[in-house]
Amino acid sequence: MRSAFKTPDVALSARRPEELDADLLVVPVFESAGATDVAWLDEACGGAVARARASGEFRGRLYDTLITTVTAPAWRARRVLLVGAGRSSEWTADRLRRIAITAGLHARQRFIARLAFVPVLSAGDSAQTDGSQLATAVAAQVVAEGVCIANFDGGAYKTNDDRWGWLEQVVISLPDSLKAQAGVERGRILGEATNQARTFSNEPGNALTPRVFAAHAETIAKGAGLGVDVLDEAQISELKMGLLLGVAQGSQEPPRLVVLRHDPANAVAGVVLAFVGKGITFDTGGISIKPAQDMDRMKDDMSGGAAAICALAAIARLKVPVKCLGIVPMTENMPGGRAMKPGDVLTSAEGKTVEVLNTDAEGRLVLGDALWYARQLGATHLVDLATLTGACVVALGKTTSGLFGTPAAWVEQVQRASDRAGDRSWPMPTFDDYKDLFKSEIADFSNTGGRPAGSITAALFLKEFTGDVPWAHLDIAGTAWAEDVKPYQPKGATGVGVRTLVELALDVETWGKLNLRR
């Protein structure tokens, strides 16, 4: 794979802002900030901050930016970047994370290599009443995450692209404590894992075939200290995974099934958390072929698998005390001469039969066999991630992932993890009534229920392979790829899901004590 990111050196410093040695000093500023709140900065900049606010050039609106020169001779940094922090009443850790990304991207566009960041911990007076005071360790983590996520290049295949520089060094102005240091390290690892997943999703289909994907996953896993098995087509056949093999048979590229294991000695007893990720390295739709427009985007149909792999590597590097599995079925979905056809009946590894009504509903097929296998390997809690349905994009747009599952307490745990991670998700219904939509006259059920409630019927299809294990499904079809440029997100792969899975594992002491059996 082409190198697509660089992890900057991130360190803490207890020095005052004027003592920080950097090419650019970053300071978030609220809309409501008064003259006294930024007087120290305004004085250093010769009154430029007050003038910009008075003229309306900079109002502190969310993600607005202003670069001004430092005139105070005692300051080491000679330029300051003000980033709008929005309303103080809406201050959160995710806002700080996004501001750090915004600042990092702003610096890279100007080939500024060394940043110093002065985080806002308290949202003014509101911090006393609405809980918006950020812990130092949390602030250190999200700033480190943000600047690392900003250091990603979606144009890795360009041969003459000099539009962007790299961040080399970032200093965060916070008290240097053990908790803050741990926050920086966690943020750096999470940012790097997110960028690795983005790199996978950005790879073209001719470069990232199932075998290549599996080989890279094995390298990453071994580097993180994970156990890893790569099952080839013969071993997949021995497991009788008819759903995975059915999807794969239309391609000249053979399938792979990657199994990753994190088995720490101090693991919480009785818990095996399994991440199952869709690994379709390219999806034409098969015989039910997709329209030509935007089919090139289907190189990212393995984003769920990338998230599972990179999250598990981060969990191992962070030495999280929970036993984890990663299961990623990898294949192409192609319309070859041996491809599965509408009307075919496939038999899953669990023995359930599926009538294929639409070969473009292939993701749920490969995940069905993988979810069954995760249970065979001892999973006590399941989370699957997949760019599964266009219906979820219609329902929730491009900013929010669909969250399905059972029981409700497990779904709530996953949603809380996604909130902490900055990966928005929203719970969707899984009422049994929807199962009537994918009944089959010839098999146990079909692989699609048609257009109505398409994301729900897809989730309920997956549920058929989860037994009585607590299960959550994240439909990331809308969130895995950003179509619109935002101050904190360039167009392209987002790495969604990586941080959610890690945050979930880090919270094992909470949910590991709950009786979540269905």
pLDDT band (50, 70, 90) for residue 423:
very high
Contact at 8 Å (CB) between 173 and 10? no
The DSSP annotation for 401-427 comes to EEEEEESHHHHHHHHHHHHHHT--EEE
Residue 502, both tokens: 């890690």
Instruction: Name the residue with tokens 């392979």.
Output: 465
Least confident range from 122-136, 329-343, 368-382, 435-449: namely 122-136
User: Do residues 455 and 330 both lie within one domain?
Assistant: yes
Residue found under tokens 């007050």: 50
Give bridge partners of residue 472 from the DSSP assignment: 383, 405
Are 246 and 391 part of one and the same domain?
yes
Among 137, 171, 192, which residue terminates a domain? 192
- Of 173, 192, 211, the last residue of a domain is 192
Q: Which domain holds residue 324?
A: 203-511
User: Which active-site residues does the annotation give?
Assistant: 290, 364
What is the model's pLDDT at position 120? 82
pLDDT tens digit sequence for 173-220: 998 889 999 999 999 999 999 999 999 999 999 999 999 999 999 999
| Residue 511, pLDDT score | 87
Residue 517's pLDDT is 64
- Spatial neighbors of 358 by CB under 8 A, at least 6 apart, are 288, 342, 447, 448
Residues 362, 225, single domain; the answer is: yes
- Over range 388-414, report the average pLDDT: 97
The helix/strand/coil state of 3 is coil
Shared-domain flag, residues 162 and 230: no
> Do both 270 and 343 map to the same domain?
yes
Query: Which residue has tokens 């990453």?
Result: 220
Separation between Cα atoms, residue 156 and residue 159, nearest integer Å: 8
Mean pLDDT of 110-134: 70
For the stretch 364-395, pLDDT in tens is 999 999 999 999 999 999 999 999 999 999 99
386 and 363 Cβ atoms separated by less than 8 Å: yes
pLDDT over 80 (residue 515): no
Verify that 298 and 426 share a domain, yes or no.
yes
Q: What is the mean pLDDT of residues 244-266?
A: 98
Average pLDDT over residues 312-341: 98
- Asked whether 117 and 147 are in contact (CB, 8 A), the reply is yes
Q: Which pLDDT score, from 0 to 100, does residue 122 have? A: 66
Give me the phi and psi of 82, to 5 degrees please. -90, 130
Q: Report yes or no on 152 lying in a domain.
A: yes
End residue of a domain, out of 138, 170, 192: 192
CB 162 within 8 A of CB 207: no
Do strands 353-355 and 279-283 pair parallel, antiparallel, or not at all (unpaired)? Answer: unpaired
* Position 126 confidence tier, pLDDT thresholds 50, 70, 90: very low
- 41, 32 contact by CB (below 8 A): no
Q: Which helix (H) or strand (E) holds 370?
A: helix 363-376
Question: Can you state the angle between helices 303-317 and 210-224, rounded to 10 degrees?
Answer: 10
Q: What does the alpha-carbon distance between residue 461 and residue 449 come to, in Å, rounded to a whole number? A: 9
The answer as to whether 3 is a domain residue is: no
pTM: 0.95
Say which amino acid occupies 214.
Answer: A
Q: Tens digits of per-residue pLDDT, 222-232?
A: 999 999 999 99
- Mean pLDDT value across residues 6-11: 96
Average pLDDT score over residue span 42-60: 94
Residue 35 has pLDDT above 80, yes or no: no
The CA distance from 352 to 242, in Å, is 10
Mean pLDDT over 89-100 rounds to: 95
| Beta-sheet pairing, 492-493 with 481-482 | antiparallel
Burial readout 140-162 (b: 16 or more C-beta within 10 A, e: otherwise):
bbbbbbbbbbbbbbbeeeeeeee
Residues 170 and 277 in one domain: no
Please report whether residue 197 resides in a domain.
Answer: no
- The span from the CA of 121 to the CA of 298, in Å, is 41
Whether residue 130 has pLDDT greater than 50:
no
CB count in 10 Å sphere of residue 442: 9
Q: What is the total count of domains within the chain?
A: 2
